[in-house]
Amino acid sequence: MRLPLNDMPKTSPTQSRPPRVAISLEMDWGFKRHQESYAGCQQYADTAGWHCTIEPAIDRVLMGSRGSMPFDGILARATPEIAKAARKKNIPLVNIWLNSPVEELPSVFPDFTGSGILAAEHLLARGFRQLAYLGWAGEVGSRLQAEGMRKVTSRENCNLTTHRFSRTSMEGPARGWEKFVTEIQSWIESWQLPIGLLVCNDIICRYLMDVCRLKGLHISQEVAIVGTYNESEICNAPPPTLTSIDMNCAQVGYRAAALLDRLMSGGKPPLDPVMVAPAELIPRQSTDLLAADDPVITKSLRFIAEHTHERIGVKEVVHAAGINRRSLERRFRESLNRTISDEITRLRLERAKRRMVETSAPMKDVAVDAGFRNADHFYKVFNRIEGIPPTQFRVERQKVFLQD
């Protein structure tokens, strides 16, 4: 990865010993976002020549130390105990926990407001005018995501409904689970369909999908869902796969380490937290379809989505819709401003893009799996619509953020 000029390591390689940095990021949770944050910290540390140690109990280590300090800096999800110990020992600390109760710490966070804006614009582009947000009660990230969505819905004069729930609904013994399900069911009954949602966490999306199915709602057509953090194992199975936002947690870790480097070199902390923009929104099946008010179009879009991987054409869609081709083509143009064939191709390309990015399958297999006649046909269509060959698309999208 090419380093931003203002984030180049500042530590001198000629000093007597490498800086010692403690990392306390609760990686035992096992979420990809925590592992990525750590990887970003370590990538900067490797470049700067630091000696890093994972310290889940850094506050006790500091308070129990005598004489010289065991660390020159700390990267942490800063609890009050960690912040107190760092202040007492006069050790620079950078916080990456948005919901930390400790204020006025040098901090680096994902831009949750930006993620709300990104999700709302994606859903509006899919034709949804009714939007919703499902998030944690009392947490800053959820509040900011909802604010980001509201900025867009206010600008576009769309409706936004929100629902918040407690972590006790599903963590530990999940004592609030029944209440969570009951409240979600009641909230769903207030929706005006079709509706597009942003959810604070990918696994919560799966819970929401299950409740929607119990209520007889079709995911992506009546209810489009965008998750947060792009936890790949959760997003990619079972179907429908889940559209989600990559919150750029590796860059959060990297920028946090760069800030710590500045503080260890005697620099002043920034007045405000450093906010890292989301990397991207990764579209998958949960937002595959365009919203439509016409029930015939809705039926046709559902048929296309469920059979895109097969060798279907306009004739099969017309048969499924139960009306003549001329009428269906006219209604497609009126509702979606595109032809039936255009919509089949759009969904095939979406399916192919996902497989190219998420797997190493040969292009001929990608083409057949997406419903194209052969690889040559796939190449021509992809190049015409996307403006680049599929091989170039795969290389660009599969680049790992931290890779040189």
Q: Residues 96-148: pLDDT tens digits? A: 999 999 988 999 999 999 999 999 999 988 888 899 999 999 999 999 999 99
| Domain stop point among 234, 260, 287 | 287
In a domain, residue 404? The reply is no
The per-residue pLDDT for 8 is 53
Considering the domain architecture, whether residues 239 and 125 belong to the same structural domain is answered as yes
pLDDT by residue (tens digit) across 160-194?
A: 999 999 988 888 888 889 999 999 999 999 999 98
Answer yes or no: is 50 within a domain.
yes
The answer to which of 51-55, 349-353, 376-380 has the lowest mean pLDDT is 349-353
pLDDT at 239 over 90: no
Instruction: Say what the pLDDT of residue 401 is.
Output: 34
Query: Which of the four pLDDT bands, split at 50, 70 and 90, describes residue 9?
Result: low
Tell me the pTM: 0.78
Q: 59 and 39: one domain?
A: yes
Q: Answer whether residue 313 is part of any domain.
A: yes
- Residue 19 sits in a domain of what CATH number? 3.40.50.2300
Whether 264 and 242 share a structural domain: no
> Is residue 188 a contact partner of residue 215, using CB atoms and an 8 Å limit?
yes
17: left (phi over 0), alpha (psi -120 to 50) or beta: beta
Is 172 found in the same domain as 116? yes
pLDDT of residue 326 exceeding 50: yes
Contacts of 140 (CB under 8 A, 6+ apart): 98, 99, 112
Beta strands 243-246 and 280-282, pairing class = antiparallel
Domain co-membership, 220 together with 155: yes
Of 221 and 154, more confident: 154
Q: Mark whether 265 and 138 lie in a shared domain.
A: no
Does 119 lie in the same domain as 244? yes
Q: Are residues 60 and 136 in the same domain?
A: no
Instruction: In whole angstroms, give the CA distance from residue 137 to residue 396.
Output: 38
Where in the sequence is the domain holding 368, given as residue range(s)? Answer: 295-397
In a domain, 198, yes or no: yes
Q: Which of 260, 287, 314 is the last residue of a domain?
A: 287
Q: Is residue 403 part of a domain?
A: no
> Does the residue 341 lie in any domain?
yes
My answer on whether 268 and 373 are in the same domain is no
39: pLDDT strictly greater than 70: yes
**385 within a domain of the structure (yes/no):** yes
Do 116 and 236 fall within a single domain?
Answer: yes
Q: How confident is the model at residue 67 (pLDDT cuts 50, 70, 90)?
A: low
Cis peptide before 238 (omega within 30 of 0): yes
Structural domains of the chain, count? 3
Specify the CATH number for the domain of residue 299.
1.10.10.60
Residues 120 and 210 in one domain: yes
Do residues 79 and 158 both lie within one domain? Answer: no
pLDDT for the residue 17: 81
Q: What is the pLDDT of residues 364-397, one digit of tens each?
A: 999 998 899 899 999 999 999 999 999 988 888 7
Is residue 402 situated within a structural domain?
no
Of the pLDDT bands very low, low, confident and very high (cuts 50, 70, 90), residue 15 is low
